[in-house]
Amino acid sequence: MTSTLDSDRPGQSGDRTVDTPVAAAGTFRIGDGPTVNRLGYGAMRITGEGVWGPPADRDAAVAVLRRAVELGVNLIDTADSYGPGTSEILIREALHPYDGVTVATKAGLVRPGPGTWVPCGRPEYLRQQCELSLRRLGVERIDLFQLHRVDPLVPSADQFGVLAELKAEGKIGEVGLSEVSVDVIDAARRTVEIATVQNRYNISTRGSDEVLRYCTTNGIGFMPWAPVGAGTLAAHGVATEIGFAHGVSSSEVVLAWLLQRSSVMLPIPGTTNLSHLEDNCRAATLDLTLAEVDRLDAAAS
């Protein structure tokens, strides 16, 4: 049985030499906001080691961002905590005034130091971080603003409430959540419409299958972070074999698997390497057979 969660899959191109391969993934409209190509770019890695401070090669980071857009990426995902602030600043340097590129950012994690992340969902803090992201990105409104984590020490209704206020004020367009369950999404939707959910998900990390099904049914974008993942040995081996048959990398195979899994799937692979970026983007043109999808599912389980 195929793993595809819905049958509404956009058509894909067999031409893997197109200048903007990401367009072959099809499109998705984020809530009532922008329509984006379904393969995006995650901008966490363009910061320094431990997601802290500036990158070792600033010019290379800027070049990767610009090349992603050249390849058809028009959804860039970042967060105020990446750096902190560094990723947003680099995105503005590389892409402002954006010209059709949607920059989604997040708030709700404090960074005491490299590699350390602490939830903070106090309404005044989320509002402050929204203002700072507006300034760093150089925009009057953030198209997609996501709660990076629901803070267990702050009433969730207060966290969702400030997002609703920011949307009503026009400071953010659409609202997203990260690392949440179906129950939390339902609770949030009683206060503010949710356009996207961003949970860890890849071929070997599939604890959010229920959330993905919910998002597919309700037309909510699902943005899997760590979409390539290391994978189990078995899954990696099968992905490598399938990639060899198609003349592509295993990363392309697992990204193509994600794109075929649901029409609301919006993978956001991140890299600082131009060659890896181009491989990732070509995944949008790879059409796996149902037999190949079944092999990948079986290996992962």
* Token pair listed for 127: 């509002």
Phi first, then psi, for residue 176 (nearest 5°) are -130, 165
Contacts of range 235-242, beta carbons closer than 8 Å, 24 or more positions apart: 235/203, 235/204, 235/296, 235/299, 235/300, 237/299, 238/295, 238/296, 238/299, 239/203, 239/296, 239/299, 242/288, 242/292, 242/295, 242/296
- HSE value, Cβ hemisphere, 13 Å, CA-based, for 201: 27
Token pair for 120: 């903070």
Q: What residues act catalytically?
A: 82
The span from the CA of 75 to the CA of 122, in Å, is 28
Sheet holding 75-77, edge to edge: 41-42, 75-77, 102-107, 142-147, 172-178, 196-198, 221-222
Length of the chain equals 301
Eight-state DSSP code of residue 283: G
